[in-house]
Amino acid sequence: MAKSIRITIHGRVHGVWFRQSAMRMAVQLGITGFVRNEPDGTVYIEAEGNDNALFGFITWCHSGPELAEVSHVSIEEQAVKHYTQFEVLR
């Protein structure tokens, strides 16, 4: 059964290929949704998938790509939106 979560990632997460790396990881894990940079310097993700896939994705978000410096990750459950793919939003 699919779950849907909102993830906000704080730290040095802009300009380090976070969005592209998140998309690659999401596709690998079978997660749908989107990722985007926020004006406040965070990265915002909506992710849908099964518990194991989401656990793996959240674990990855705590470190992100090699150049990222993640200081905090916040997660909230939300209603499932039935995304069909994972995409990078501008």
pLDDT in tens, 39-81: 999 999 999 999 999 999 999 999 999 999 999 999 999 999 9
pLDDT in tens, 20-33: 999 999 999 999 99
**Can you tell me the distance from the alpha carbon of 66 to that of 17, in angstroms, rounded to the nearest whole number?**
9
Q: Which residue numbers are catalytic?
A: 19, 37
What do you get for the CA distance between the two ends of the chain, in Å?
A: 29
Tell me the CATH architecture of domain 3-76. Answer: 2-Layer Sandwich (3.30)
Can you tell me the distance from the alpha carbon of 6 to that of 75, in angstroms, rounded to the nearest whole number?
6
CA dihedral 29, 34, 35, 40 (to 10 degrees): -140
Q: DSSP readout, 38-73?
A: -TTS-EEEEEEE-HHHHHHHHHHHTT-STT-EEEEE
Residue spans per domain, the chain: 3-76
